[in-house]
Structure 1
Amino acid sequence: MTDDEAHHPRLLLLDEADGEIEGRAKYHKLLYNYVDEEAEDSELSFVREERGPYDPGLSQAMQRYIDLGHVEVDEEDEPHEIRQTEKGERYMSGYERTKMRLDETFRQTKKRIAETVKKHGEKSANEMVQEENIQEAKDNPFRKDLK
C-alpha cells in the first residue's frame, strides 16, 4: 500500500488547511506543491491542464468524501468553497490519532503536508499559478503527464 492510499493526502491537506480551501484550482495547486516540494514517495499523478497542474483523482476522491459526509462544496459562488464538515473533522481527529500510534511514516506525511500548507496555504490560486514550479508545469504540452 502506498503512502497515498494509507495516508489520504487529499483529505489530510484539507484538514491541515483548517478545513477550508477556496476553490478547486487552489486545491490542485496545493496538492501539486505537496508532491513537488515535500513528498518523497507519492503516487498522486498530475497532468497539464489549462490552469496548470491538475490531479485527475481529486474529483473522484472529493465525490467519495462528499458521499461520506466528510466534505461539502459551496457551488453558489466562484471559486467554490470546499469545506470539511463536522463529521469530517471527527473522522480526521480519530484517523490521525490512530495513524500516529500505528504508522511511523504517517508523521512524516503529516509534517510534509503541514509544511505545504504553511508555505502556500494563504496564497490565492492566482498567486500560486505565478510560482516558478507551476509555470514550469504549464510550459508542458496540454494533457501531458507531469508527475
Structure 2
Amino acid sequence: MTDGSDETLPEEEAALHPRLWMVDEFDGEIDGQLKFHKSLVQFRNNTDMEKDDWPFIRAYRGPMDQGFSSILESYDDLELVYREKDGEIHIYRETDKGNRFVRGLKNGLRILKKDQTEERETQLELVAKANKDRIGSEIEQDDDIQELKDAPIGTEV
C-alpha cells in the first residue's frame, strides 16, 4: 500500500497510514468525503509536515487528498475499511480487522518511533475531537480551510 504510484506521501510517512488512523480516531466511522479530506488537511497542517510532504489539490470545495480514492480502495480490498454510499454521502467504516491493524500499528510505532508517533497520535486525536460531530461543510468554513481555498483551482496546497 505504501509504494503504490497513487501514494502522495513520502514512504516513511505513508507507513504510518494516517488515513486509516484517522478513521480509527473518529471512532471507526467518517460520514462524508468532504469531512474526511478536510480533516486530513487539518491533520497535515497541525504536524511538522510541509505542503510538499503531502500535497493536496485545490478543488471546488477546498483541498483534496490526491491519493485518497486509490488508498481507500486498497484499504477496502484488504478489508480494513468498508466504503459505502448512502445517497450522496460516502461513509467509511473501520472493520474489526482494520481496528486490530491500527492497534498493532500504534503499539509498534510507539516502541519504534516514540516521539513522531506521539505527535501524530495527538494531532489525529485533536482533529477527530474537533470534527467528529461536525459535517464537512462546517469544517470547510474553518479559517485554515478557507485560506487554502484562496489558491487557484487545480494547484497544490
Alignment TM-score, normalising by the size of structure 1: 0.91
Distance 1:54 1:94 in 2: 28
Aligned to 1:13: 22
Is 1:112 the equivalent of 2:123? yes
CA distance in 1, matches of 2:73, 2:135: 23
Match of 2:82 among 58, 72, 82: 72
Q: Which residue does 1:63 correspond to in 2?
A: 73
- How far residue 75 of structure 1 moved from its aligned partner, in angstroms, is 1.3
Runs of 4 or more above 6 Å deviation? none
- How big is each residue's C-alpha offset from its partner over 1:20-51, in whole Å with a ceiling of 9 and x where there is no partner? 00111110000011112x11025221011011
Q: CA deviation at 1:90?
A: 1.2
Question: Which of 137, 141, 145 is the aligned partner of 1:130?
Answer: 141
Q: Is the 8 A contact 2:47 2:119 kept in 1?
A: no
The letter for the 1-side match of 2:59 is E
State how far apart, in whole Å, the 2-side matches of 1:135 and 1:76 are. Answer: 27
Percent of aligned positions that are identical? 32
Aligned residues between the structures: 145
Aligned amino acid, residue 68 of structure 2: L
Q: Which one of the candidate residues 40, 52, 58 is aligned to 2:48?
A: 40
Alignment match, 2:92: 82
Where is the helix percentage greater, Structure 1 or Structure 2?
A: 1
Structure 1 unaligned blocks of 5 or more? none
* Distance in 2 separating the partners of 1:136 and 1:88: 34
CA RMSD of aligned residues (A): 1.5
Quote how far apart the aligned CAs of 1:76 are: 3.4
Question: Which blocks of at least 5 consecutive residues in structure 2 are unaligned?
Answer: 1-9
Per the normalisation by structure 2, the TM-score is: 0.86
